[in-house]
Structure 1
Amino acid sequence: MQALLLDRELSYRTDQPIPKPEAGEALIEMRLAGICATDLELAHGYAGFTGILGHEFVGQVVEVADANDRHWLGSRVVGSINIGCRQCPTCLTTGPAHCPTRRVLGIRAKDGAFADFFTLPVANLLRLPDHVADETAVFAEPLAAALRVVEQLQDLPRGEIGVLGPGRLGLLIGRVLALAGHRVTMLGRSETSLTQPRRWGLQAGLAADFPESGFSCIVDASGTASGFTAALRLLRAQGCLVLKSTFVADHPIDLSPLVVKEIRLLGSRCGRFEPALDRLSAGDIAVETLIDGVFPLSAGPAAFATAARPGVRKILLKR
């Protein structure tokens, strides 16, 4: 089958074996998949992953390992990406996202969705409503991650929140925070980066133009060390910094403002898919406007190069 394989460098392959679903798993035919910032970082060596990339997907179930799961056959699905042991206290209480031995689709010890076929536990799958197009549903995973921020900040008084990095994920975060009643300001590095936030009706401005200590809460979705530094500058004393980025710093970062300002640092990763599908089904987030290109798997390396260009939003892959 076709696949985008990461083994020190990213390559397009046509000789990869079709995986066989193990007990409890489904074999999924990829219909559409999205490239995100984490994929770009993995391709540059983040976390030392080797294998097939890809975790944002829409697929169709073509085979199941267990007879009891045959009702999934033919279903158009998305799926949560964390695969836990289902036995440890973490899995049994809060779920697989923080299981000590978890595998993560296309990120950690589990081949991903940038291939003709891939496997995932049936327990991770969610059927898609017929009226939700593939080009909409492919945003289920990043939208779930954005909604996780809303969930984590639910006890924060409704107020002004700065979202640093108006890119693929930052825009979704800004939109869902605004829908939750917060006053959101999208913070970018260039005027060009602020065009889409304004089209979505969000307040936006250049991060460099805002005074020091102007925000009580910042969500850093910039994916850069410089963005993290800018977030620390913009936060007022005893503010909250939500870190929604995976990046490899290529130089030391001054963390003293965390102590001096007594900043509360909150990491944020994956979210629940059910609320994301509800939002996508309702159609109140224009996710399709973020799509800047669709490439075949055979042009995967070129798709990655395009996705890495400044200002590019979402690049999709199809079979």
Structure 2
Amino acid sequence: MSTAVRVGGRVARLTAAGVITVTDEAVPVAGPGEALVRLTACGICGTDVHAYAGRPANLPITLGHDAAGVLVDSGQRVTIDPTIACGVCVYCAQNRPQLCRDGGYLGMTCEGTMAEYIVVPSDNLVPLPDEVSDIEATVLEPIAVALHVLERLGPWTAAQQQAHVVGGGPLGIVLTQTLIAHGWETVVHEPQEHRREAGRAAGLNVRDSTKADPGDPADGPLLIVETSATAGGVALASRLATPGSAIAAVGRAPADFATADILGRELTVFGSRGGAGTYPRAVELVRDGLVRPAPVVSHKFALADTGEALRAVTAPGNTVLRAVLIA
């Protein structure tokens, strides 16, 4: 069975929508099958932003799931696979821990990594080589998500490995790098200019999503990945899809794909929830220089300033690409 995630030391908790409370608490003790990690850096993900802005969550909760740290008992640098699973249910037996009914996800359904110390199951630890910095380790989830999308494609094939990514935020930029590393010719669609500039600086083909043309059926089936978690992003993903295309939804958008459209154009639409089990490969891609996540980090804050960091990220008109908390 999975163990309870526990945090301590300096802890930044979401106690109400838009309210972060920072406290100093006892450092938890690791039991059998667990490890105590001193966290050194934590990325602020779009999921954290949504929870901070008021999306329903079990409050109070310590947000965060993209982190680097050091094992207290050995000094080994690690990151943490945020999917917590029981290990014995039907989904775990099928190697689908992200669907575990008795499991959880750091910072969403259990305590997360916006803290100084955390106790997690030892099986969730992933060693970090010297070539992967703490900052890079806080942006591994987009790589893991992309790897899981490719896993979920299964028997679906395209005449050519052509993909469109809707949303050019940190998730879209790093996910696109991962697709390119696996041979996919990929176009990113993003409405905000500062994000388009960041994507182009990363060497990506980025277009203004407000001017996107429909997909050309002559191109054959395409892979479309919707990362924006917006109704407009869902509409664009549908518009870009050609007959026979596959659409991967990795953002929780307030909109649905039309079943008549799915049927009429024989689309494959699937959800891709996290990237459990893919973190070792994500680390390797960064270590080998095939994916470069660090440039999407535009701002750094101290853990004690978590509230300030989230206010900056959610401020109207802000140009923060991705912020990282340094413990």
Give the TM-score taking structure 1 as reference length: 0.88
- Secondary structure in 2 aligned to 1:116? strand
Aligned 1:265-284 pairs, distance under 5 A: 265-271=269-275, 272-284=278-290
User: Counterparts of 2:266 and 2:14 in 1: how far apart (Å)?
Assistant: 40
What amino acid sits opposite 1:279 in the alignment? L
- Counterpart selection for 2:247 from 229, 233, 241: 241
Q: Is the 8 A contact 1:166 1:187 kept in 2?
A: yes
What amino acid sits opposite 2:162 in the alignment? E
What 5-or-longer segments of structure 1 have no aligned partner? 64-72
| Shift, 1:206, TM fit | 1.5
Query: What percent of counterpart residues are identical?
Result: 26
- Secondary structure in 2 aligned to 1:52? coil
| Shift, 1:42, TM fit | 1.9
- Counterpart selection for 2:261 from 252, 257, 260: 257
User: Counterparts of 1:263 and 1:27 in 2: how far apart (Å)?
Assistant: 45
| Shift, 1:210, TM fit | 2.5
Q: Is the 8 A contact 1:56 1:142 kept in 2?
A: no
| Greater displacement, 196-205 / 267-276 | 196-205
Aligned 1:38-77 pairs, distance under 5 A: 38-50=47-59, 51-63=61-73, 73-77=74-78
- Does residue 138 (structure 1) correspond to residue 138 (structure 2)? The answer is yes
- Secondary structure in 1 aligned to 2:284? helix
User: Counterparts of 1:102 and 1:237 in 2: how far apart (Å)?
Assistant: 37
Q: Is the 8 A contact 1:213 1:233 kept in 2?
A: yes
- Does residue 82 (structure 1) correspond to residue 83 (structure 2)? The answer is yes
| Shift, 1:179, TM fit | 1.6
| Shift, 1:253, TM fit | 5.2
Paired position in structure 2 for 1:122: 122
What amino acid sits opposite 1:179 in the alignment? A
What amino acid sits opposite 1:264 in the alignment? T
State how many pairs are aligned.
Answer: 306
User: Counterparts of 1:261 and 1:308 in 2: how far apart (Å)?
Assistant: 38
| Shift, 1:259, TM fit | 4.2
- Secondary structure in 2 aligned to 1:313? coil
User: Counterparts of 2:86 and 2:234 in 1: how far apart (Å)?
Assistant: 33
Q: Is the 8 A contact 1:189 1:206 kept in 2?
A: yes
Q: Is the 8 A contact 2:84 2:103 kept in 1?
A: yes
User: Counterparts of 1:43 and 1:183 in 2: how far apart (Å)?
Assistant: 35
Paired position in structure 2 for 1:314: 322
Aligned residues: CA RMSD: 2.1
Q: Is the 8 A contact 1:2 1:12 kept in 2?
A: no
Paired position in structure 1 for 2:153: 153
User: Counterparts of 1:261 and 1:47 in 2: how far apart (Å)?
Assistant: 35
- Identify if the C-alpha distance between structure 1 residues 162 and 123 changes in structure 2 by more than 3 Å, giving closer, same or farther: same
- Secondary structure in 2 aligned to 1:32? strand
- Identify if the C-alpha distance between structure 1 residues 318 and 254 changes in structure 2 by more than 3 Å, giving closer, same or farther: same
- Secondary structure in 2 aligned to 1:112? coil
Post-superposition CA distance 1:208-261 (Å, at most 9, x none): 3232244733111112122112211222233211101024x2xx6573533443
